[in-house]
């Protein structure tokens, strides 16, 4: 399977704990995106990487959130001091750019903060 993979698929944590999610994009894709989806809503943009450079962060991404993409390959999204409002599905997508810039999504990591 050469699609976008995300790990873990589910994460349950207690409020105040730190969590880290991983995304492995399609290997030749240089663009990587993180989105967050809550119940009844569409995915909302969080942050964007072009190769290893983080070029944009949404205002939704508070200081407790940090993302990296070392060497322009896999990416990690860390949430520090989790809050109940962080409970959501975190989706990763990758693309090649150009034309319709079709973004291919992983299955997501569902975070539940108790």
Residues at the contact surface with other proteins, assessed by CB under 8 A: 4, 31, 33, 35, 40-45, 48, 50, 55-56, 91, 93, 95, 97, 99-108
CA-closest candidate to residue 93, choices 21, 22, 35, 19: 35
Residues for the chain: how many in total? Answer: 114
Instruction: Report the nearest approach of other proteins to the CB of residue 95 (Å).
Output: 8
How deeply is 6 buried, as exposed, middle or buried, from its count of CB atoms within 10 A (0-12, 13-18, 19+)?
A: buried
Closer of 69 and 108 to other proteins (Cβ): 108
How deeply is 102 buried, as exposed, middle or buried, from its count of CB atoms within 10 A (0-12, 13-18, 19+)?
A: exposed
Cβ atoms 44, 36 nearer than 8 A: yes
Instruction: Report the nearest approach of other proteins to the CB of residue 80 (Å).
Output: 24
Instruction: Report the nearest approach of other proteins to the CB of residue 68 (Å).
Output: 17
Closer of 30 and 80 to other proteins (Cβ): 30
Closer of 42 and 70 to other proteins (Cβ): 42
């Amino acid at each position: 399977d050469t699609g976008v993979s995300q790990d873990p698929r589910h994460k349950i944590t207690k409020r105040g704990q730190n969590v880290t999610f991983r995304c492995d994009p399609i290997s030749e894709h240089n663009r990587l995106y993180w989105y967050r989806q809550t119940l009844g809503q569409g995915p909302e943009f969080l942050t964007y990487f072009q190769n290893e450079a983080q070029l944009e962060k949404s205002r939704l991404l508070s200081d407790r959130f940090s993302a990296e993409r070392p060497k322009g390959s896999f990416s990690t999204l860390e949430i520090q001091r989790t809050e109940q409002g962080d409970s959501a599905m975190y989706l990763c997508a990758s693309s090649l750019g150009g034309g319709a810039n079709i973004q291919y999504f992983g299955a997501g990591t569902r975070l539940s903060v108790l």
